[in-house]
Structure 1
C-alpha cells in the first residue's frame, strides 16, 4: 500500500494493489473517526463543519500496520484511518453511469423468479437468527417476499412488521381489511382483477412497505401477483429511451378524496430518479391518477404513449410472479418499487386479507445492522 500527498496538501492518493483512490483533505478531516470528532458509542459527529478550518490541508502521511496516519494543518492533528474503510468509502467513480442505474445490492426480476420467491416461516424469522438475515437480504434485493406458517388470527400481520420496524398508521387505521364475498346466488359472476399498482401514490411520502396477511381464502382464483417496477421501467428505457425520459422528466399528479375530511394529493413522476440518475421509485396507479398538468403541450401525447406502453409492459405475463396466499401466509412489498395485483376470482367462497403499512428504513436498518454484525464476527 502506498500513500502520497498531492495538490499542495489538498489531496491524499492511496494505492492498494491495482486500486487507486483520491481523497480531499477536507473530506478526510470531516470523516475522521477519532473520539474528538465522533462519539464512540453511535458514531455521530461531535463537531460541525464550521469547527474545521476552511484551509485544511495534509502536511504528512504515513502507513504502518495500524493503518494510514494523516496529519492535518493548521490544527496539527493526527488521524488514523483504516485502509479498508477508505476503500469502501471511496468516491468519484460513479461518473458516467447511465440514466436509470440501480444500486448494486438490488436485483431486477421477471416471471423467471416464479420458483425462487423469497419465503420463510414466521416462527423461524422470529428467532432473529440466520433465517431472518437471509430473508431480509432477499426482500431488500428483490423488493418483496413471502411469509408462511403464521397464525390465522386477526392482527397477526403486526408480527411481520415487528420483525423489522413499526406500523405506519394512516387514515385507513393501523390496519385495513381486504374482504370479498363472491355472490353464491350468481355462479356466473366473475370478480374483477386489479391491475398491478403501487399503493397510495397520492401520499407524500408514500408508505414504503406494505404487508398483506391472509385469514380466509376459499374463493376460486384471486391469486396475488407482483411485478418489478424497476424491471418494467428499464425495459421501457431499452425499448424507447424517449418514453423513459418523458415519464421521468415530468410529474404526474395523484389524488384521493374518498372520505370526509380527507384530500390527499401528490406531485411526482411515474419514474423517479435521483439527481445522479439512479432509479429510486416507481408510482403507478390508474385509479388514483389525477389530471396531469405538468407536461408541456408538445410532450403530452408522448407522455400518454409512454404511460400506455409502461402499462402494457406491467401487464405482460412475462413480467409477473403469481402465488396464492393461504390462511396464515403473508407477503411484503417495497411499495416504491414492486407493484402488486389480484387476479380475478369467481364461484363461491370468501377472501379475507388484512393489510398495513410500514417503512423500509427499518427493514434496511436491520439488514445493515446484521451485515455489520456478521462482518465484525468474521474479523
Structure 2
C-alpha cells in the first residue's frame, strides 16, 4: 500500500492574526491576516462581501440581503479600528458608505481551508488491510463514522452479516445515504439472462470498469451484495484507479493530459432507454487534481480527431488499460452470502471473473 502525499497540517483559528496598516498621514488603511506565518492582504471587496451586520445578512439563515455582484468596481477602506474590550472585532468604514463590525472568528472561517477529508490511501494487490465491518456493529454511530473514514481513504469497504432478504441492499444503502433510482430500478439482481440489455446479466467475465458513465451524474457509492453464491467463478475484482493514474502520469504526462481534456461519448441503448454523455475519461478538479475517472471499454466511442492526436490519445488509453488489467493493481474477492461491497464508482473500478 502506498500513501498519497500528505497534505499540510490542518490550520487552526489560533494561527491566524490580524494587522491594520496605514499609509502616510494615517490614510488608506489596509487589513492583513497572517495565516500560518504568511502575511496576506485582505482586499476591500473581499471584506465588503463578508459584511456581517443584520441589515446585510439574514440573522436566521445567514444568507445575504444584498447582491455583492453589484458592489462598486473601485472599493476602498476609509477607516479601520479595533473595537470591543477583547479586540475580537474590526469596525470598518468602506468607500460605498457601509460601516459595520467584523467578528474575526467569522472571518477565520473563510480564511481556514475547507475541512480536510482523510488523505486517500492508494493501494495495489498487496493491500493487507481490507476495511470490513459487521452490519450489526454499524448501528453504533462511532462504528459508522470509522467505516466512512475508511471508505474515504480506500474508496471501498465490505459490510458483512447483512440481511439476506431480496431488497435488503436498500437498507444497507440508506444507512450511508439516499438511493438513486435509475432505468434499472432502485436495485437489480445479477444473474445470467438470455437476450439481456446489459452484459452484467450474462456469465461472461467483466474487465475493470465504472458503472453508468453515460449518466449524469454518474453513480457515486455503488453496492454489490451477495445473497447466494453457488457458482464456479464469479470472483469480484477491484482496482484503485488513483494508483494506476499516478503511474500513467509518470509514464506519459502528455497522455494523461489528453485523457483529462478530450471528451469521449459513452452510450447506452435498449428498447426503452437511450442515454449518452460526453466526458473525459479522467476527471480533475479545478486545481488539476484527480477526482476519479469514467471508464467502460464496452460503452465508449473514440472522438473524431486529427490522426496524430488520435494516435496519441489511443496510446495513452492503451497504457491506462494495461495498468487497470495488471494483476499488480487488482484485488480479488469471493463474496459470501451476507457480504456487501460499497465502493466509490468514480475511483474504484470493479469487475468479475466469468462464472458457471
Q: Is the 8 A contact 2:52 2:100 kept in 1?
A: no
User: What is the aligned partner in structure 2 of residue 278 from structure 1?
Assistant: 289
User: What is the aligned partner in structure 2 of residue 4 from structure 1?
Assistant: 20
* Within-5 A mapping of 1:139-150: 139-150=151-162
Mark the runs of 5 or more structure 1 residues left unpaired by the alignment.
Answer: 91-102, 182-190, 347-379
- Give the alignment partner of residue 117 of structure 1, picking from 130, 145, 150: 130
Secondary structure at the counterpart of residue 125 of structure 1: helix
Q: Shift in Å at residue 123 of structure 1?
A: 2.3
* CA displacement, residues 33-55 of structure 1 (integer Å, 9 cap, x when unaligned): 55554445554444332575554
Q: Is the 8 A contact 2:20 2:29 kept in 1?
A: no
Q: CA 1:240/1:41 → structure 2, altered by over 3 Å: closer, same or farther? A: same
Q: Shift in Å at residue 78 of structure 1?
A: 1.3
Q: Is the 8 A contact 2:124 2:240 kept in 1?
A: no
Q: Which structure has the larger Rg? A: 2
Mark the runs of 5 or more structure 2 residues left unpaired by the alignment.
Answer: 1-16, 194-202
Q: Shift in Å at residue 12 of structure 1?
A: 2.7
Q: Is the 8 A contact 1:122 1:148 kept in 2?
A: yes
* CA displacement, residues 84-117 of structure 1 (integer Å, 9 cap, x when unaligned): 4254149xxxxxxxxxxxx874414122663222
- Give the alignment partner of residue 267 of structure 1, picking from 273, 278, 291: 278
Secondary structure at the counterpart of residue 232 of structure 1: helix
Q: Is the 8 A contact 1:144 1:334 kept in 2?
A: yes
* Range 109-118 or range 158-167, more displaced: 109-118
Q: CA 1:14/1:287 → structure 2, altered by over 3 Å: closer, same or farther? A: same
Q: Is the 8 A contact 2:118 2:149 kept in 1?
A: no
CA RMSD of the aligned region, Å? 2.9
Secondary structure at the counterpart of residue 177 of structure 1: coil
- Give the alignment partner of residue 60 of structure 1, picking from 80, 85, 110: 80
1:335 pairs with 2:351: no
User: What is the aligned partner in structure 2 of residue 151 from structure 1?
Assistant: 163
Q: Is the 8 A contact 1:70 1:80 kept in 2?
A: no
RCO comparison, higher one (Cα < 8 Å, 6+): 1
* CA displacement, residues 282-305 of structure 1 (integer Å, 9 cap, x when unaligned): 011011112422x33320011111
Q: Shift in Å at residue 20 of structure 1?
A: 3.0
* CA displacement, residues 14-70 of structure 1 (integer Å, 9 cap, x when unaligned): 125624333323223323455554445554444332575554433314387463525
1:28 pairs with 2:40: no
User: What is the aligned partner in structure 1 of residue 231 from structure 2?
Assistant: 219
Alpha-carbon distance between aligned partners in 2 of 1:67 and 1:210, rounded to the nearest angstrom: 47
Q: Shift in Å at residue 208 of structure 1?
A: 1.9
User: What is the aligned partner in structure 2 of residue 352 from structure 1?
Assistant: none
* Range 143-152 or range 305-314, more displaced: 143-152
Q: Is the 8 A contact 2:89 2:101 kept in 1?
A: no
TM-score for the superposition, normalised by structure 1: 0.76
Alpha-carbon distance between aligned partners in 1 of 2:219 and 2:252, rounded to the nearest angstrom: 30
Q: Is the 8 A contact 1:3 1:61 kept in 2?
A: no
- Give the alignment partner of residue 309 of structure 1, picking from 310, 316, 319: 319
User: What is the aligned partner in structure 1 of residue 307 from structure 2?
Assistant: 297
Secondary structure at the counterpart of residue 146 of structure 2: helix
Alpha-carbon distance between aligned partners in 2 of 1:238 and 1:15, rounded to the nearest angstrom: 36
TM-score for the superposition, normalised by structure 2: 0.80
Secondary structure at the counterpart of residue 195 of structure 1: strand
Q: Is the 8 A contact 1:111 1:319 kept in 2?
A: yes
* Within-5 A mapping of 1:107-186: 107-111=120-124, 114-127=127-140, 129-180=141-192
